[in-house]
Amino acid sequence: MHAFANPTRFLTLAKPLTMWFLAVGLVLAIFGSTYGLLYAPADRLMGDSVRILYIHVPTVWLAMGGWTAIAIASIMQIVWRHPLASVAARAVAIPGAAFTALGLITGSIWARPTWGTWWVWDGRVTSVLVLFFLYLAYIALANASGDKGGVSRVTAIFGIVGAINIPIINRSVVWWNSLHQPASITVSGSSIDSAFLWPLLVNVIGFSLLFGAIVLMRMRTILAETKVEARLKRMAAE
């Protein structure tokens, strides 16, 4: 857990990983999106509107995964006092909010021809909107933190408590009468035809790698800013 707690040691690994994640993620995301949006077959019931799912599903997946990462990093910060945990949590917040916004936007684009409206106060849609506001609140708390290189203990606790919304999003289509379709991919298998499934999985992997690259870049930036700030403080004290 603490093997890469030293920022210098972490940076030696993060720099090449960032480039690999970015390169492979771009290739997979471009290929999966191009195939899904232009060449994949239309759905028998939803027609061409099904194509937006190749973007919608990965963004919502990463919206939930981003907050899960914040919660895990927050636990590591509070319980194990991992030096880079708060940096990682802070780095995830902005891309997490961006992917949540993309998930809401693409969901609305899909809803218009499918449900006949851009927005409904459906259990799944509403809980994802709550997640977006949680991200905004977390970012505000992190920016208000006295430690610009990470986040405060209060912010970390908020990150843990906010994770309650993740299982609510996941189970919302089961717990409440919902317009949103139930999960098509579960631990027991998939109900999606292979013609739709493989480009979707390619995009999920590609978008996940891009998300990881963004987080690593943000972590490196935060550490660099912290180092510069510490150097300026030393110079001012001399």
Q: pLDDT digits over 32-77, tens only? A: 999 998 988 887 777 788 899 999 999 999 999 999 999 999 999 9
> With bands split at pLDDT 50, 70 and 90, how would you rate the model's confidence at 221?
very high
Residue range 155-180: average pLDDT? 87
4 occurs within a structural domain: no
Is residue 2 over pLDDT 70?
no
238 occurs within a structural domain: no
208 occurs within a structural domain: yes
56 occurs within a structural domain: yes
1 occurs within a structural domain: no
188 occurs within a structural domain: no
Is residue 157 over pLDDT 80?
yes
Helix intervals (H) in 116-188: 123-144, 153-161, 165-175
Contact of 66 with 99, CB cutoff 8 Å? yes
Q: Which domain holds residue 52?
A: 9-39+46-178+193-232
Give the CATH number for residue 81.
1.20.120
User: How many structural domains are present in the chain?
Assistant: 1
pTM over 0.85: yes
106 occurs within a structural domain: yes
